[in-house]
Structure 1
Amino acid sequence: MKKLLLCSLLVVSPAHAKGIFTEGDELLLQTSVWTKHYNPEPDHNNHQKMINLEYYFNDEVKFFVNPEQTSWRDDVRWLVGGATFKNSYDQQSTYVYGGGRYDYALGENTKAYAKLTAGLLYGYRGEYKDKIPFNSLGVAPVILPAVGVQHRRVNLELVPFAAAGVMINAGFYFR
C-alpha cells in the first residue's frame, strides 16, 4: 500500500511539471477512511485500504452537449479513474471507470458536489464470485453515485455501494 502511494506521488509530480496536464486539469488522490456494511457478516472487511486516482478534465472538455441550447450538462466536470482496494471479502480488487461531477458553490474556496461513475470491477473471485451481480466472467459492470464536499485542495466524499454499504473517502487534489 505504501509503495503504491509513493509511486502515485512520483507519477503525479513530474507529470504536472512537464506539462502533461493542461490548465484546469486536476488529479485527485483518495483513500477510504470509514466503511460500514448495512447487513454485516462475520467475514466482511471494513478496512478497504483503497487508493483511488481520478483525473478531472478541464472545463473546456464537454461531452453530450447540444451547441444550440444550454443545459445542466454544460457544467458537468468529466473524469476518468481507477481504484485498487480490498473488497468486502478481503480480496484485492480493481475498479476502472469514467464519470461526471456536478459542483455546487458553497463559498469562494468550498463546493459541494454530486458525482456518478460507471465502470468495470474486477476482484470478486472464488466462493464470493456471486456476491455482485453480472460477475459471471470475473468482471462486473458497476455504477457508483457519490456526494462530497471540497475545500481548496482537500475533499471528503460519501459513496454508497449498492445495497451493501457506505464508504467515506478523503482526498487531495494535485493541480
Structure 2
Amino acid sequence: MNVRLLALAGVVVCAVALPLTVASAGQVGDARRAAVRTPGRADAAAPGAGAAAPGADAKDPSTAPTPTPLLLGLGLATAARCGPELASPDGVEAQTCVMTQGAETWARAYYRNATGRALDAVLSFMGPGDRTVQTRCAVGADDEPGTCETPRERVRGVPGAYTAVTEFAARGADGPLLLRSGSNSEVSTGS
C-alpha cells in the first residue's frame, strides 16, 4: 500500500514540476535564437566543427561541439542574475534576468499574463558607458508563460555592470503601467 502511495506522490510531483521547468527554460528551437541575433554576427559554425581529426577513426564520435536546438542556448557556462519574482494585483507575474554566456550577455524576462487582455512589454537592458538596448514584446492574453529577450551583445567590462528592467502596460499610448520588474532588488518594484 505504501509503495502505491509513494508512486502516486511521485507522479503528482512530476506533473507539477515539469510545466514549471519548461516555462523557466525559455523558447525551444533555432527560430527564436535567429530572431535575437545581433546583425553582423557570424552564424556559421567554426571551421572544422564536427569534422574528425586527421588520422582519427571515422567511426569514433566527434568530441567537437555541435549546435543543437535542444540546448535552448543555455549550458553549463550560462550565468543568470535574476531579480525577485513579482506579481501585480492585476494578474501580471514577471521575473527579469541578465544572462551571460561566454563573452555574450543579454536580458531575458519570464512572464505570465493572467489579466485576460493583451499587454505591451518593454525590456530595457542597460550596460556600461550608458549603453541601453530596448526590446518591445507583445504579450498575449492567453495566460501562458512566455519570455522576452534583447539581442545578445559582447560583454563590455564586467558582467555585474549590466541591469535589466521590464515594464508591462495595457495596450495603447496611454496604457497604465501594471508591473515593473528588474534584474536586481534595487530596480524591482510591483505597481
TM-score (norm 2): 0.31
Q: Larger helix proportion, structure 1 or 2?
A: 2
| Larger Rg computed on CA atoms | 2
